[in-house]
Amino acid sequence: MSSQHHDNVARQFGEQAEAYLGSAVHAAGVDLKHLAECLAG
């Protein structure tokens, strides 16, 4: 992945990601645990 692509993604989604991490509704829940388990393999 190119540095430019990474920068574009970070610019577009960085603020939203921070908002999700700080949101009580979005930062907790079974779905996030399941996603983490799937990503861990």
Provide the token pair at 12.
């577009």
1-41: pLDDT as tens digits: 688 998 888 888 877 877 877 788 777 777 878 888 888 87
Amino acid at 14: G
pTM: 0.35
Torsion, CA 10, CA 12, CA 14, CA 35, rounded to 10: -90
**Gap between the Cα atoms of 33 and 40, Å rounded:** 11
pLDDT score of 4: 92
